[in-house]
Amino acid sequence: MIVHVFHSSIVSGPETLVLPALCKLNDVAIVFLVESRLGERGREALHYAQEMGHLVFEIQVEKRLDRKAIRELSEYFQECEPTLVHAHDVKASTYVALAVSTLHARSFPILSTHHGVRGRSGIRAKAYESYYTHFVLPKFDRVLTVCMSDRSLLCERGLSSNKVLAHPNGVDRAKVLLEQRDRVSHDIRERWNLPHITPSTTCLGVVGRLAPEKSLPRILKVASFLREKAVPHWHLLFVGDGPEREMLEKLARQYHLSDRVSFIGYRAEIKNEFAGFDLLLSFSRAEGMPINLIEAGWAATPVFATAVDGNEELIPSERFGSLFDLRTPDDVVAERLAKVLLDHELRKKQGKNFQRRVEQSFSGERWLADLQRHYHDVSQSSKRRASNW
C-alpha cells in the first residue's frame, strides 16, 4: 500500500492535483492530519478525498507539534505496513519524518513533494520553509518539486542533486475544441449569469485563493490604468475566496471599477469553465507550477502572467502566452495588456499553441506516469541499500 499524507484544511492546489489522479491507482490510502482548533472547517480537504472514494485515515492534531499525533501516525505505519509513504509539503513532511524516526526499523522509502519553494509569504511561513529545507527534507529518500526552478533552488540551499528531482504538475481537464470554443464560452457565461459579462464582453479571469502572495491589488491597479486605454467592453472576474477578498472589493470601489470588476467567490465548477475567459491573469510574485494556468491551457485560453518560476516553464515564449517582468511599472503592464486584449488573432494563436503544449507536456496522464516512475526508482534504490546492509 502507498500512503499519502496531507496536513490540509482547505482544498487547494496540492489536493486538486494529487487526489483525483490517485483514483487511478490501486492500493492507495490517504492520511489527513486535521487541526482540531478548526473544527469541521478544518476537514474540508478530508471530505474532498472521501467524496472521491479514497480510503481516508484521520489524525487529530491538537497543537503545532503534537507528540500524540506523531505517535498515532507511527502506529498507523506499523499496522498498514506501507510499501511507500509520500508526504505533501511542510507540516505533513515534518510529521512523517518524526513518525518514522520512532520506528525500530523502516522497510519503506519516504518521499516529500514540495509544492512551491518560493510561494510562501510572511515571517512564520518563511521560518517553516527554512526548517523544512534544512532539517526535514534531508531525512527523505526522495524530494520532488513541481518545477525545475524549484529543484535548482533546493539544490542551491544544500540538498543533494541526486535526491531532488522535478516532477512538474499536470492535470487532465475537458479539452475545448477550437472550432467549438465560441459556443462553449457562450454557454459558460450563460451559466455564470452575470450582468456585466455578455457574449461580446472581453472577459479577464483571475482564479484561485485571494491571498497576499498572488499580488491581487496590483491587478486592480493595472485595471485602473487599463480603463484609460481604448479597450472596449472588458470585465475582470475574480473566482475564489480568501483573506483578501474584502480588501480587494473595497479597493475596486476606490479605483472606481465597480462596473468593471466582479467577485463571485469559490466555484467548484470553474476547473472546466476557463473557456468563459478571453484571457487569464496571474500576477503572483512567486509560483510553483500553477494548476489554474494548466486548466486554462485545456480550454485554449491564453495567459497574461508574471515571468516567474513555473510560469516560465509553462510559457517559454510569446507563442504560448504573454509574460512580463515583476519589476515592470504598472502603467507599462497596462499598455502591454491592452495590446493583447486588442489583438484577437494573437490571443487565438496563443490559446491554440498553449493548448497543444499542455496536452503534450502537462497532462494528468503524464504526471501520473512520472509519479509511478519516481516510485519505482526510489523503491529500487531502497531495496539496494537494504541488501547492502
Taking the chain (389 residues) in runs of 10, the rounded mean pLDDT of each run is 91 90 94 90 90 95 92 96 96 96 92 85 76 94 96 94 96 96 97 93 96 95 91 95 96 96 95 98 94 98 97 97 97 97 97 98 97 96 64
Same domain, 246 and 153: no
Nearest 5°: phi and psi at 203?
-100, 120
According to DSSP, the residues that pair with 375 across neighbouring strands are none
Same domain, 96 and 107: yes
Same domain, 253 and 325: yes
Same domain, 187 and 125: no
CATH number at residue 54: 3.40.50.2000
d(CA 165, CA 162): 7
Same domain, 167 and 182: no
pLDDT of residue 231: 87
Same domain, 256 and 298: yes
pLDDT of residue 229: 84
Give the global pTM.
Answer: 0.93
- Domain limits at 211? 178-361
Same domain, 88 and 49: yes
Q: What is the DSSP letter of 61?
A: E
* C-alpha separations of 243 from 136, 214, 249, 323 in Å: 29, 12, 12, 27
Same domain, 17 and 109: yes
Closest CA to 230 of 97, 334, 376: 334
pLDDT of residue 386: 59
pLDDT of residue 387: 54
pLDDT of residue 385: 63
Same domain, 114 and 160: yes
pLDDT of residue 382: 76
Helices (H), the chain: 13-22, 44-51, 67-80, 89-101, 123-131, 148-156, 181-192, 216-226, 245-254, 291-298, 309-314, 330-342, 344-361, 364-388
pLDDT of residue 262: 97
Same domain, 199 and 137: no
Amino acid (1-letter code) at residue 104: H
Same domain, 130 and 247: no
Question: Contacts for 58-62 with beta carbons within 8 Å, 24 or more apart?
Answer: 58/31, 58/32, 58/34, 59/31, 59/32, 59/33, 59/34, 60/34, 60/36, 61/7, 61/33, 61/34, 61/35, 61/36, 62/36, 62/37
Same domain, 211 and 322: yes
Q: How many domains does the chain have?
A: 2
